[in-house]
Amino acid sequence: MQLPVHDPVALTRALVDLPSVSGQERALADAVEALLRDQHHLEVRRDGDAVVARTSLGRAERVVVAGHLDTVPVAGNLPSWTAAPGEGDDPAAGEVLWGRGTTDMKGGVAMALVAACTVAEPVRDVTYVFYDCEEVDSARNGLGRLARTMPDWLTADLAVLGEPTEGLVEGGCQGTLRVDVTLRGRAAHSARAWRGVNAVHAAHEVLARLAAYAPREPVVDGLRYHEGLQAVGIHGGIAGNVVPDACTVEVNHRFAPDRSPAEAYAHVQEVLAGLDVHLELTDEAAGARPGLDRPAARAFVEAVAPVTGQPPRAKLGWTDVARFAALGVPAVNFGPGDPQLAHADDERVPLAQLVSCADALVRWLRG
Amino acid sequence: MQLPVHDPVALTRALVDLPSVSGQERALADAVEALLRDQHHLEVRRDGDAVVARTSLGRAERVVVAGHLDTVPVAGNLPSWTAAPGEGDDPAAGEVLWGRGTTDMKGGVAMALVAACTVAEPVRDVTYVFYDCEEVDSARNGLGRLARTMPDWLTADLAVLGEPTEGLVEGGCQGTLRVDVTLRGRAAHSARAWRGVNAVHAAHEVLARLAAYAPREPVVDGLRYHEGLQAVGIHGGIAGNVVPDACTVEVNHRFAPDRSPAEAYAHVQEVLAGLDVHLELTDEAAGARPGLDRPAARAFVEAVAPVTGQPPRAKLGWTDVARFAALGVPAVNFGPGDPQLAHADDERVPLAQLVSCADALVRWLRG
């Protein structure tokens, strides 16, 4: 198929209408690969259903522009359609493209493809990375695979990940970890409760500490982060007539990128110190510093400023920018679409944002 | 089949080896009915799989002796077998009968059948009640059905329910009610937790009040009860990255028979007063006063005292004595077997207790 590479709106729509739920990205990867192989200024490689392409102009700096090709499952919202803004949208935003992947993140992929196809001589060398399986189990993540199979292709001074930010620059990302906090008691019939020890009752001290917790809001590389320590789940109980012998509070800690996962976990231990609890770390992912002090990043911020007129802000959720950070590459998130609509059945993106984000990226690469 | 009505041990064993899981009591009810119809001093009625029989000697008092015929499902523990005492048993107790129903409550049914068949001229008139479906949904309870279909057969000055008490007299029973205590919050992504309100965190005050709760131990009709207010379950949480918008604590209140369910529920409301919670009463059952001040009850306590040499105590768990209480009949629990072993895979009863309990009941009825 022929993709309309000069029109971000038409291109986004074409990409959206090529369904690519995680694990089923082949057709879309084939189309992207064919498009990039037509661009004689690019060197192209294929790895599974990931496609990478780069210029080699000997520039002083190299940047990565990346996006994932997959989406979460379709929810009756394909093929795409254009319509008026939805509830909660800015009514002045004009027409909106609706459908699975419009926000997360084929608008961002289209932005990258427009730049790849229309900027033959960028002022900084560019590596474009389109990858598979971002929306599923981390072990299947295509960017993680590329980091193992062709790490030299990911080396750069800055990475721009086209995840939806409504055209803002969101720098770095916070780390995340999950801890199961388990309290132990002793079961007994609830009619003779004094023979037991109620593990659910004992959880009150854990919850009181979480409720009283005052999160840090540290400034890292000029951006203010906002941490959190939240019970995201609790369960306990055996039957309606039994004193529970166990209660588990699932805690999610979001931490700024000035702390490593180990430091963040030590902090959780400190918050719960002195309580008779068993902690089990079930999940952890490091954050990423924004790296906005790098020249390429400063230039990027200047180039995209007109899109929203707002300064960069910290990315609070975890994204694949952390995979670049792990490779020593500072990274920012920048793309069209409201991140709150990602995965939603009413996922959509304003057409104007598709255009302004692509324009900004092109402007930055042209210098 | 011919049941050995003069030997409580052989009779218990015969009853146990006629499996009668709730809803499948027919064969056992048939055997019990045939046995009772052979006793010419008894008038016998059948209602579904319940069998009732009574003397009509014009005595000044009438007592009910009752027991359920059904058991919880068999767990590979039938047919029964006799063996040495198990772990935790009194090693001096001698041989033990193992198998489903030995404790809950075919030992008690055998005790009642021995009395029914061997005491032709009791000093107080007796109504024997053997019923179905005690171990399942309350709506199916055979005693509840008899209370509707033939209430005059349950009228008495005292009821003795042969539930396992290790031969102690356990008077009345505590009431029970369950309340779902729900806290509401507002969901948000856990990376931006301040946009939400964590309902699980809010539960800390509910749990703190339950943990600090000091239960009453009131004396009712001479017996000391022991109340309780316990979280028997807690659940909350949507996903590992979402601030929970709801948390529910399931609370079980066990209350002494000097309070009605309505009074007990008002007490729970009082304990949680001032908290921003929604209460939903999901289950309630009134308790039963022990009624040990009645002459028939005093005589019963004297007659069975030799079994353990211990004074009567309060029944803390809820039992079908409460169904008699609702009919205005005070009731006590008295039977062979350890109630802690009811429903257990290693359910068992000491042979000596089968004999001593049956002897005591016979002694009481002979005056």
Cα–Cα distance for residue pair B77/B62, rounded to 1 Å: 38
Cβ-defined contact of B240 to A178 (cutoff 8 Å): yes
pLDDT of residue A294: 82
Cis bond before residue A79 (omega within 30° of 0): yes
Contact B174 A191 (CB under 8 A): yes
CA closest to A202 among chain B residues: B211
In chain A, which residue's Cα lies nearest the Cα of B210? A201
- State pLDDT tens for residues B151-200: 999 999 999 999 999 999 999 999 999 999 999 999 988 998 998 999 99
Cα dist. B95→B148, B334, B349, B351, B352 in Å?
41, 21, 9, 6, 8
CATH T-level fold of A175-285: Alpha-Beta Plaits (3.30.70)
Q: How far is B275 from chain A (nearest CA, A)?
A: 14
CA-nearest of A36, A72, A71, A65 to A51 is A36
Nearest CB neighbour to B191, from listed A174, A206, A234: A174
Cα–Cα dist A42/A303, whole Å: 23
Q: Which of A194, A206, A234 is the closest to B237 by Cβ?
A: A234
Considering only CA atoms, give the Rg of chain B: 23
Sheet with B125-131, side-by-side order of all strands: B43-47, B50-54, B125-131, B62-68, B158-161, B331-333, B170-171, B313-314
Non-local (6+) Cβ contacts of A194 within 8 A are A188, B226, B228
Handedness of CA B183, B184, B190, B191 (dihedral sign): negative
Q: Measured between alpha carbons, how far is residue B264 from residues B211, B257, B330 in Å?
A: 18, 10, 21
Judged by CB atoms closer than 8 Å, whether chains meet at B243 and A254 is answered as: no
A174 and B190 within 8 Å at the Cβ level: the answer is no
Q: The pTM is what?
A: 0.82
H/E stretch holding B312 reads none
User: Look-up: residue for tokens 């005059």?
Assistant: B152
Specify the amino acid at residue A4: P
- Coil vs helix vs strand at B126: strand
For chain B, the distance separating the N- and C-terminal CA atoms, rounded to the nearest angstrom, is 32
Q: Hey, is B62 helix, strand or coil?
A: strand
Nearest to A232 among B205, B241, B317 (CB): B241
- Return d(Cα B275, Cα A148) in angstroms, integer: 54
Instruction: Answer yes or no: do B192 and A226 touch at CB < 8 A.
Output: yes
Cis bond before residue B122 (omega within 30° of 0): no
pLDDT of residue B104: 95
Both tokens assigned to B221: 């009709």
Smallest Cα distance from B252 to chain A, Å:
7
Per-residue buried b or exposed e for B173-184, using 16+ beta carbons within 10 Å of the residue's own CB: bbbbbbbbbbbe
- CATH number of the domain located at residue range(s) A8-172+288-366 in this protein: 3.40.630.10
- B239, A232: Cβ pair inside 8 Å? yes
Contacts of A226 in chain B (CB under 8 A): 192, 194
Nearest beta carbon to residue A203 from set B178, B191, B207: B207
How close does chain B come to A210, measured CA to CA in Å? 6
Q: How far is B112 from chain A (nearest CA, A)?
A: 27
Residue in chain B lying closest to A212 (CA):
B201
Q: Do A318 and B191 touch (CB under 8 A)?
A: yes
Closest listed residue to residue A13, CA positions, set A130, A89, A94, A110: A110
Taking CA atoms, what residue in A is nearest to B195? A228
SS3 B61: coil
Distance in Å, alpha carbon of A245 to nearest chain B alpha carbon: 10
Helix (H) / strand (E) element for B213: namely none
Q: How many angstroms from the chain centroid is the CA of residue A81?
A: 25
Residue A317, pLDDT score: 87
According to DSSP H, which parts of B91-141 are helical? 107-118
Test the A interface: residue of B173, B241, B280 with most A CBs within 10 Å: B241
- Closest CA in chain B for residue A199: B231
pLDDT tops 90 at residue B9: yes
Residues of A in contact with B203 (CB under 8 A): 203-204, 207, 234
Q: What is the mean pLDDT of chain B?
A: 94
Max CA pair span of chain B: 80
A–B interface: beta-carbon pairs under 8 A? 164
* Contact call for B191 and A316, based on CB within 8 A: yes
Whole-number pLDDT of residue B112: 98
Is the per-residue pLDDT at B269 higher than 70? yes
Which residues in B33-121 belong to E strands, given as ranges? 43-47, 50-54, 62-68, 81-83, 96-98
Contact: B204, A208; criterion CB under 8 Å: yes
What per-residue confidence (pLDDT) applies to B160? Answer: 96
Residue A271: its chain B contacts at CB < 8 A? none
Q: Which ipTM value was assigned to this complex?
A: 0.82
Strand A242-243 to A188-189 pairing: antiparallel
Q: What three-state secondary structure class fits B217? A: coil
- Are B246 and B234 in contact, with CB atoms under 8 Å apart? no
Task: Give the count of beta carbons closer than 10 Å to the beta carbon of residue A226.
Answer: 17
Confidence at residue B188, expressed as pLDDT on a 0 to 100 scale = 87
Task: Tell me which residues of A are annotated as active site.
Answer: 70, 134
Per-residue pLDDT, A111: 98
Query: Do A353 and A336 form a contact (C-beta atoms < 8 A)?
Result: yes
Residue of B nearest to A174 (CA): B191
Name the residue among A192, A198, A210 with its Cβ closest to that of B231: A198
Domain ranges of chain B: 8-172+288-366, 175-285
CA distance B210 to chain A (A): 6
pLDDT score for B2: 75
pLDDT, tens digit (0-9, with 9 covering 90-100), for B174-186: 999 999 999 999 9
Query: Shortest CA distance to B16 belongs to which of B353, B349, B357?
Result: B349
pLDDT at residue A136, rounded to an integer = 84
Q: Cis peptide leading into A105, omega within 30 of 0?
A: yes
The catalytic site residues of B sit at 70, 134
- Residues whose CB is less than 8 angstroms from the CB of residue B156 and which lie 6 or more positions away in sequence, other chains included: B62, B63, B64, B127, B324, B329
| B241: nearest CB among A193, A226, A252 | A252
- Predicted pLDDT of residue A178: 96
pLDDT below 70 — which residues of chain A?
1
At A83, give phi and psi (nearest 5°): -160, -175
Tell me which chain B residues have a C-beta less than 8 angstroms from the C-beta of A256: none
Backbone angles phi, psi at B168, to 5 degrees: -85, 160
C-alpha distances in Å from residue B60, one per residue of A18, B40, B120, B157: 91, 21, 16, 10
pLDDT of residue A1: 64
CB neighbourhood size of B263 (10 A): 11
Test A176 with B241 for CB contact under 8 angstroms. yes
Residue of B200, B224, B316, B338 to mutate, interface with A, max A Cβ within 10 Å? B200
Q: Which of A189, A317, A318 sits opposite B317 (nearest CB)?
A: A189
Query: Are the beta carbons of A190 and B235 separated by less than 8 Å?
Result: no
